[in-house]
Amino acid sequence: MIALRQTNSVFKCIIRSSSPALGEIQRYLSPIFVVARFYSAGVMEVEALRKLVMEKQSAVDKQGDAVRALKAAKVAKEDIDKAVTSLINLKLDLKSASKELQAKISDEGDSGEGAALSKEAFRQAVNNTLERRLFYIPSFKIYRGVAGLYDYGPPGCAVKANVIAYWRQHFVLEENMLEVDCPCVTPEEVLKASGHVDKFTDLMVKDEKTGMCYRADHLLKDYCKEKLEKDPLLSVEKVNELKQVLAVLDELSAEALGTKIKEYGITAPDTKNPLSDPYPFNLMFATSIGPSGSSPGYMRPETAQGIFVNFKDLYYYNGNKLPFAAAQIGQAFRNEISPRQGLLRVREFTLAEIEHFVNPDDKSHSKFQNVANLEFLIYSREEQMTLKPPVKIRLGDAVAKGTINNETLGYFIGRTYLFLTTLGIDKDRLRFRQHLQNEMAHYACDCWDAEIECSYGWIECVGLADRSAYDLKAHTEKSGVPLVAHETYPEPREVEKLVITPAKRELGLAFKKNQKMIVESLEAMDEVEALELKARLESEGKAPFEVCTLGQTVTLTKDMVSISKELKKEHQRVFTPSVIEPSFGIGRIIYCLFEHCFYTRPSKAGDEQCSVFCFPPLVAPIKCTVFPLVQNEKYEATARFISKSLTAVGISHKIDITGTSIGKRYARTDELGVPFAITVDFESSVTIRERESKVQIRVSVDEVASVVKEVTEGQSTWEDVLWRYPTHTTNSVDE
């Protein structure tokens, strides 16, 4: 369950690592943006803030204990309600203080307003190239488009296919995961069980005259930011108040938001009309399954639920053994109220999700040692709370110290690091940030986000959560089908136990094909239900019994089930597995990759800046281009021959036989991030040019496809082949 939330955060200077050590080559970089800062630093001292957060945390803990004690003592409902209200208020206080602390941390390292502009300029430069070369196209453009919907054009589509293929190899194949492929159309009851029907909402306000809709928090945020940025006469108190509002924005209730909007006199931005009170809008695309109108459904908001509902079959498929992981890659949908942030906040996107099921008592991972020595930026809860920056730490140490809750979660964090950096994400702009206590759902055990820094700030691209047994329990409860695992004890144990023995023969005679569902429902009863049923059967001889999975109530007689408490030898334990969920937002990863791979360098003549995407061959949409140096039948025939040999070895490529200058054609391939360009300047031998170094080698026509294949697929590096073939020096002004 990836929560596509976004953090406002420091935007750091891009320092690109230099290209392979080739003495004569220089890397030209355009340092067109540096660091950004949105609004001025707070007033309160950091230490004081930290102390405040600690105090509030302890107040919340105490009140939580008090509520639990009241519940256990079964005091009157209004007393419990009162205590709960007070707990909620304390939590809100805590969140507000924590948020302010976080905002303070984000302020560190910021440096003035001009930087925000160059950040925008950089983003504009990347996006111009992406749109011009059809990496993306606004969907349905000839019909004026739809906000939040984008197509991948040919190179974008190829990059996406490469990223997904590598994900499948790196995760599914490597771990022998059970991949499934479920429909997007999902019936309501599944999403009712998962909580999406009730809770997957944003707060919305409507223009009372035109009916135009806005996200309530966006309007409040825009108001506060504009005030802070543009009103020089604000008092210190007002500045603090507005900053406070920004800090707790995500946590405000509908009432609190409405109050603030009224208080500040915020009106509809387009018309200045008054606004309605905020109310929740469900973010799922609703539809109806079948023609009757009586089966509501939604386009799935995530792929995870398709795995959870199949747990029983998948566990069986895995030989009834834990741990195992299932995975799914597919579309997910989110009907945003008003999408912002271009390619990062869209209404339809591809998710790749893993659900790794484990015994809650043993979250070790047999392959953890393979990743334990990785070192990368980890931003623990403690560092966030003590205002320290993220630190580079050995993964094995983070797990050993308990910073990361368990080996399995740690293993996936390590594998995610390897996945992202292999794709070309800059390791210095990638960090794993732990959720603060107040960010996590009550049932979650530990959560981390892989955050990648781009021009929008630090963006959550992968969520890694230990969700304990929550999802399987929710579906067990709603469906009546037990989603559980079994553990066989080495030695049987003697325990007093509720024994439910459905009489299958009698049930079969009475209920025919429904027998199986009834048996499963009987076996799924908890102790209270079972003892009630037993009492009724004993007193009346028969009893009604609701079978959720059938959607009906049947009448059972005494001979159909035996219920008793017995001293039994237990040979096994039945339990709900915990699930550890790495969830990848493929589109966000790709967008960040585009920003990390983009740079400009001057043309040889020095008169213009050329855009380059330095994709690794693994990701590059096209692996190589083939150019005849001049338009000439012989060279074109050679080019076609080479094209055929490249197709034969499975290397995607493009022939360019336009008469454009060779320099311009190189520039075009650089813009698409093509790593290698073959130029046909003889019939027997040709040159291969590497994008980053611009160095060319001379290779015979018969060998060229296999050389490109080996450097593209990673059997050799460019440095390896540099030793094997003569370097080619060109006299052209273009290069």
DSSP state of 15: -
Residue pair 621/159 in contact by the 8 Å Cβ criterion: yes
Pick from 23, 232, 265, 319 the residue near its own copies by CB under 8 A. Answer: 319
Task: State which residue, 291 or 606, has the beta carbon closest to its own copies.
Answer: 291
**Residue with smaller CB distance to its own copies, 434 or 479:** 479
Cβ atoms of 360 and 578 within 8 Å: the answer is: yes
**Shortest gap between Cβ of 224 and its own copies (angstroms)?**
23
For its own copies, the binding residue among 95, 99, 475, 534 (CB under 8 A) is: 475
637 sits near its own copies (criterion: CB under 8 A): no
Per CB under 8 A, the list member of 42, 156, 278, 390 interacting with its own copies is 156
For the segment 274-293, give every residue that binds its own copies (CB under 8 A). Answer: 281, 285-292
- The one-letter amino acid at 350: T
Element (H, E) at 398: helix 395-400
CA dist list (Å): 625 to 208, 634, 671, 683, 700: 57, 18, 12, 17, 16
Q: Which of residues 477-506 bind its own copies (CB under 8 A)?
A: 478-479, 481, 483
- Number of residues binding to its own copies, judged by CB under 8 A: 86
By CB under 8 A, residue 254 contacts its own copies: no
Region near its own copies per CB under 8 A, out of 1-9, 136-144, 263-271, 685-693: 136-144
Q: Which of 492, 650, 714, 726 binds its own copies (CB under 8 A)?
A: 650
- Selected binder of its own copies within 27, 50, 168, 604 (CB under 8 A): 168
Residue placing its CB nearer to its own copies in the complex, 457 or 621? 621
Q: Of residues 515-554, which lie at the interface with its own copies (CB under 8 A)?
A: 549-551
Q: Which is nearer to its own copies, 292 or 731 (CB)?
A: 292
Q: What Å distances lie between residue 641 and 217, 564, 646, 669, CA to CA?
A: 60, 80, 9, 20
Answer yes or no whether residue 306 interacts with its own copies by CB under 8 A.
Answer: yes
63 near its own copies, judged by CB under 8 A: no
Q: Which stretch binds its own copies (CB under 8 A): 69-77, 232-240, 473-481, 561-569?
A: 473-481
Where b means 16+ CB within 10 Å and e means fewer, 610-649 reads bbbbbbbbbbbbbbbbbbbbeeeeebbebbebbbebbeee
Nearer to its own copies, 98 or 186 (CB): 186
The dihedral built from the CA positions of residue 467, 471, 477 and 478, taken in this order, carries a sign that is positive
- Distance from C-alpha of 581 to C-alpha of 471, rounded to nearest angstrom: 11
What strands lie across the sheet with 727-728, from one edge to the other? Answer: 653-655, 624-628, 676-680, 685-690, 696-700, 727-728
Q: How far apart are CA 468 and CA 422, in angstroms?
A: 30
State the minimum distance, in angstroms, from the CB of residue 372 to its own copies.
18
CB-CB contact of 701 with 707 (8 Å): no
**Residue 514 contacts its own copies per CB under 8 A:** no
Q: How many residues does the chain have?
A: 735
Question: According to the binding rule CB under 8 A, does residue 213 interact with its own copies?
Answer: yes
For its own copies, the binding residues in 326-365 under the rule CB under 8 A are 331, 333, 335-338, 347-348
Q: What is the DSSP letter of 622?
A: S
157 scored as a contact of its own copies (CB under 8 A): yes
583 binds its own copies (CB under 8 A): no
Lay out the site mask for its own copies across 396-435 (x = CB under 8 A, - = otherwise). ----------------------------------------
Quickly list DSSP for 109-178.
T---SHHHHHHHHHHHHHHHHHHHTTSEEETTGGGT--TT-EEE-HHHHHHHHHHHHHHIIIIIITTT-E
Q: Considering the rule CB under 8 A, would residue 141 count as an interface residue with its own copies?
A: yes
Is residue 66 near its own copies by the rule CB under 8 A? no
Q: What is the DSSP letter of 37?
A: -
- With CB under 8 A as the contact rule, the residue among 63, 102, 162, 186 that binds its own copies is 186
Q: Which two tokens stand for residue 549?
A: 């999975």
